[in-house]
Structure formats: C-alpha cells, structure tokens
C-alpha cells in the first residue's frame, strides 16, 4: 500500500475545496447576463478587481455546457485579432491570407463555446481597434466564428485597472454594459459551497411573434417622439467608453426587449439590459415609454368615465390623467370637459388626491363661458384644497428649518 505524500494530501484537499454545488436562486444581474448571452449579444461586465467576474463566467460556461476560452486582451498584439499574414506560393496571384490564432481555430472547429475577453480596459488603443471586427462580425483574419460562439468581456474601471485605458467609442458601442457587483448573501453561501445556478431563459414558444411586435413598437415609438435619441455620442471620454445610444445599440436594445418579453423577465432585469445598451438617460426614457404603452386610451376613458379602470401606480395614473386633459385641450367640447371632471372625481375616490391637483387646475382653464360647472367638481374640490394646503404647509416648514438651524448656531 502506497502511503500518500504530503503533496498528494494537499491535492486531495484542493479537490475538496473545489467541489461546489449550484441552486436556483433569484439573481437579477446573472439573469441579465444569461439573457444577453441567449440573445447572442456581446456583453461587457464592469466591476472592481476580485468582485467575481471571472468566476461568474466560468460558472456560466459550465452551466450552459459551453467550452470556455479565455483571452487576456492586454497581453496580445493587434495581429492576434486581425490575423497574421501568411505568404503562400504565389502571393501576386493568391494574395496573402490572414491566419487566425490557435484559440480561434479551436472555437471554429468545436462549433460552439464562450469566448471570454478578460481585462479589456487594459488593452491598448491599437488592440481595441483590432477587436472591433471580432466583437461585431465574429471574424478573425480569414476565419469566421460559428453562430454557436458567444462573446463576453470583463473590465475594471480605469481608476482600478493596471495601466488602464478608456474604451474607444466604436468598441464600447458594440457591447451591452453590465455593472457587476457582489451580493453578500450570494458570496457567503457560495463560499459555503453553493452558488446560484445560471440557466438560459425559458422562452414562450407561442409568444415569440408578439414579443417582436412589442419590442419594435417600444423602440420605434420612443425614437419617433424623441428623434434626438437616435444617435447621441457623449461629450466626455469616460462616458464614450460606456453605453450610449446609436442605431447599432438601439437594434441591440430591440433584441433585448424581445428576449426579455418572450422570457417573462422582471422589470429590474429589463432595466439593467436597456440601460446597459443605450445608457442611463435614454434607457430610463425607454422604460417609462414602455410603462405608458399599456395605459388606457384617453378617448376610451372619456367615453365611459364611470367604468374607467385607472392604474394603481402613481406615476402611471398621473400620466393617464394628464393624457385625458391633453385630449380635451386638443378637442374642447362641453361633454368631453364634463367627462374629464367625472374621471378626476373617480381618481380621487380610488387613489391619492394629490395626483389630481395639476390635471384639475389645467382642466379648469379650458372652461368656456357658457359651460356650467359640473356637479362632479364638488366631489373633488375638498380633496384638491386639502392637498394644496398640505403642499403649502410643507413648503413653509421647509423654509423654517434652515432658519431654526441658523438660530441655534
């Protein structure tokens, strides 16, 4: 019987430490990552060193049964991504083909895999330029990577990256940017041996066509109303290295909305993806526009104010009431004006009265001289007056606080 050496025992101990399990667990950022991977979009994870970006990608590849190929972008030359020239027998007749590196050949031979471009923010500008074709077209030299290959990158903020560079705008605009943070509960449970399980989203087979229609309507509706958002190159270098709106990133956003809709993803997951594609400002505008897409038609509400069903959420209810008043302003008629007052009265009965103050004030200015005041106004006059008094009291309190503080000094 062979007695194990200390190195043998050390190896056994390391094997035991490497053994971990996974469990289903709600994780918004992991769900966003897997959905973007399923949508075949390049993803860039931003996070401080040691936050777990590489570990997450390793676990993702294992969970999806994809071979993982890790390439440290900063230690490669531009020719490693653009292809190395190989002179043949007759260059004048045959040209000089650009040979791909060995890892790209392995990916193409396997036909599927997860290409992990690590330390992207430490890649020099020349290397970033060479990566453009790889990230967008999946082409390295003369080699075309197969559709089964997905691309995920990771980067540290410039402040914490070793010899870091800002990403060039063309390269940054090719990624879905996700901020990767740690969750204490996930870390503690993972160190205990159980990590969250990464799974591809379950798409509803019967809802695929509707998901595409919804995504197109959401993006096209916003850009029709806000044409300035179609292309907006940020003015500062740091913001150009992140997510910003362009026709390319809007196309990515459309795909993400379609996948999230077909998968029934949460609004939090959709928010991460949308903001990661076109940036915070345009992303928040799009999310607000999506919220308003399912709002009732103001004309239908004016036709039957007694049977109107108003949204529960305050911001959506406010948008509905503002839309009703705008519809009356566009076509001011006595019956429509009376119906709007009846709708505002219903809003007071079923929700917060302060949401009615601004629409009621605006609606009152639309009254014609020969229009009698409808009885429904009396039902909300008290609520509006009370809300206005509360606002004035809050304003007086706010002005007194600094004065009192100065007096104590």
* Domain CATH number, residue 64: 3.40.50.300
Please write the tens of the pLDDT for every residue from 303-358: 998 888 888 888 888 888 998 999 999 999 999 999 999 899 888 888 888 888 88
My answer on whether 166 and 78 are in the same domain is: yes
Domains of the chain: total: 3
Same domain, 167 and 276: no
Between strands 148-155 and 112-118, the pairing is parallel
Predicted confidence band of residue 223 (pLDDT cuts 50, 70, 90): very high
Question: Are 61 and 168 part of one and the same domain?
Answer: yes
The verdict on 114 and 51 lying in the same domain is: yes
Same domain, 258 and 373: no
Do 62 and 184 share a domain, yes or no? yes
pLDDT single digits (tens) 264-296: 999 999 999 999 999 999 999 999 889 888 788
Q: What is the mean pLDDT of residues 76-91?
A: 76
Could you give the CA distance from residue 140 to residue 99 in angstroms, rounded to a whole number? 8
Q: Is residue 123 scored above 50 in pLDDT? A: yes
Q: Between 41 and 291, where is the model more confident?
A: 41
Cα separation of 361 and 177, whole Å?
Answer: 43
Domain identity same for 286 and 227: yes
Q: Are residues 109 and 218 in the same domain?
A: no
Out of 158-167, 286-295, 324-333, 380-389, pick the least confident: 380-389
Q: Quick check: is 266 in a domain? A: yes
Number of other residues whose CB lies within 10 A of the CB of residue 65:
7
- Spatial distance between the Cα atoms of 386 and 319, rounded to a whole number of angstroms: 22
User: What residue numbers bound the domain in which 239 lies?
Assistant: 205-293
Residue 15 lies in a domain: no
Domain end call among 151, 175, 196: 196
Same domain, 209 and 161: no
Judgement on whether residues 28 and 164 belong to the same structural domain of the protein: yes
Tell me the Cα Rg of the chain: 29
Average pLDDT over residues 360-379: 82
More confident residue, 256 or 345: 256
Same domain, 151 and 245: no
Does position 298 have pLDDT exceeding 60, yes or no?
yes
Q: Which of 217-226, 231-240, 272-281, 288-297 has the highest mean pLDDT?
A: 272-281
Question: Is 8 among the domain residues?
Answer: no
Q: In this structure, is residue 127 part of a structural domain?
A: yes
Whether residue 213 lies inside any domain: the answer is: yes
- pTM for this one? 0.75
Which residue stretches of 19-148 are H helix? Answer: 28-38, 53-63, 78-82, 91-94, 102-110, 125-137
Same domain, 40 and 132: yes
């Amino acid at each position: 019987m062979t007695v194990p050496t200390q190195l043998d025992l050390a190896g056994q101990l390391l094997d035991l430490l490497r053994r971990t399990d996974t469990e289903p667990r709600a994780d918004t950022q992991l769900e966003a990552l897997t959905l973007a991977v399923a949508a075949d979009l390049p993803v860039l994870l931003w996070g401080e060193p040691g936050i777990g970006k590489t570990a997450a990608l390793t676990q993702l590849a294992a969970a999806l049964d994809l071979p993982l190929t890790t390439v440290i972008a900063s230690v490669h030359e531009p020719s490693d991504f653009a292809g190395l020239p190989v002179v043949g027998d007759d260059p004048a007749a045959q040209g000089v083909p650009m040979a791909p590196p060995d890892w790209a050949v392995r990916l193409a031979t396997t036909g599927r895999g997860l290409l992990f471009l690590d330390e992207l923010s430490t890649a020099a500008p020349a290397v970033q330029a060479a990566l453009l074709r790889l990230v967008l077209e999946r082409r390295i030299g003369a080699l075309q990577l197969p559709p089964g290959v997905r691309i995920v990158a990771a980067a540290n903020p410039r402040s914490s990256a070793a010899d870091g560079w800002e990403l060039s705008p063309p390269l940054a605009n090719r990624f879905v940017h996700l901020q990767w943070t740690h969750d204490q509960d996930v870390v503690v449970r993972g160190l205990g041996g159980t990590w969250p399980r990464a799974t591809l989203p379950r798409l509803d087979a019967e809802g695929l066509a509707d998901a595409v229609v919804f995504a197109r309507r959401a993006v096209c509706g916003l850009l029709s109303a806000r044409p300035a958002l179609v292309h907006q190159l940020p003015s500062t270098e740091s913001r150009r290295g992140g997510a910003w709106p362009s026709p390319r990133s809007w196309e990515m956003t459309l795909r993400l909305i379609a996948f999230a809709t077909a998968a029934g993803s949460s609004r939090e997951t959709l928010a991460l993806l949308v903001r990661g594609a076109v940036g915070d400002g345009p992303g928040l505008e799009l999310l607000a526009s999506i919220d308003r897409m399912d709002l009732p038609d103001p004309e239908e509400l004016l036709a039957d104010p007694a049977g109107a069903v108003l949204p529960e959420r305050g911001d959506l209810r406010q948008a509905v009431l503002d839309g009703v008043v705008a519809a009356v302003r566009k076509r001011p008629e006595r019956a429509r004006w009376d119906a709007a007052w009846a709708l505002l009265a219903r809003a007071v009965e079923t929700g917060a009265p302060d949401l009615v103050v601004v629409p009621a004030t605006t609606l009152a200015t639309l009254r014609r001289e020969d229009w009698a005041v409808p009885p429904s106004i009396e039902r909300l006059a008290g609520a509006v007056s009370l809300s206005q008094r509360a606002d004035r009291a809050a304003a007086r309190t706010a002005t007194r606080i600094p004065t009192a503080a100065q007096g104590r000094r």
